Amino acid sequence: MPIATRRPPPDDVAWSGLGRQLPRAAGLIAALTAVVIALTWQVCADTGITVIDQRILDWMIAHRGEPLTTVTEVITDLGDTLSMTVLAVIVVIGFVLRGAPRTAVLVGVTSLGAGVLVRVIKPLVDRQRPPELTRLVVEPSLSYPSGHTLGTTAVVGIVALTVLPHVRRRWVRRTAAVIAVLFAIAVGLSRVYLGVHWSTDVLAGWLIGLLWVTVCVTVFGWARARITE
């Protein structure tokens, strides 16, 4: 008669091997932090990589047209604060109902923290957006980093990392992962196309979003490893 085995709780399914990856994650965090600091310094000093900002914006403006503009507006709306909040709340509720409260907390903290980072960093850097004449949508806040890009990278990233491991079909997981990456890229590019961000604002959004997700997942994995020791 076969011996029944207890299924691991949902909180442990996707994170069982994460503790062994902590040194690698720490290295990634250090590297991303260094890049973000260097980029932010160059933006504040208006030097270095910022020379590409006007060139990329001019290229985007020169290639505007329909139906691309309409598609871009839809993409940017899908990456706004409301859309990402709805996505995060749905996923948090889903994990709570599945009996995975720790993972729900991880998704919630990562998503909420992304918004806090935007609100803290923008006034510190105090960078103005591109001229109003270049903008296709109204955006009253400061420019660096791109909130749409940072929020989308963080929320979609943490949702993909927590939800996709529970998907059984490998091709579905891989397809969804590619779509998640492409969506974050598309949202960032849409912000430059619409003339409301410089390219380095968007680059910072991707990098800081990725850094924040990595920090949250690493801390979560470290805590889980300590609990199970």
Q: Going residue by residue through the chain (229 aa), what tens digit of pLDDT does each one get?
A: 444 444 445 554 455 455 567 778 888 999 999 999 999 999 999 999 999 999 999 999 999 999 999 999 999 999 999 999 999 999 999 999 999 899 999 999 999 999 999 999 999 999 999 999 999 998 888 999 999 999 999 999 999 999 999 888 999 999 999 999 999 999 999 999 999 999 999 999 999 999 999 999 988 887 776 665 5
Q: What is the pLDDT of residue 7?
A: 46
For residue 114, give the 3-state DSSP assignment: helix
Interhelix angle 147-163/199-228, nearest 10 degrees = 30
Q: What is the pLDDT of residue 21?
A: 72
Q: What is the pLDDT of residue 64?
A: 94
Q: How far apart are CA 149 and CA 26, in angstroms?
A: 23
Output the CATH code of domain 21-228.
1.20.144
* Residue reference for tokens 């923290």: 113
Extents of the domains making up the chain = 21-228
Q: How far apart are CA 146 and CA 131, in angstroms?
A: 16
Q: What is the pLDDT of residue 227?
A: 62
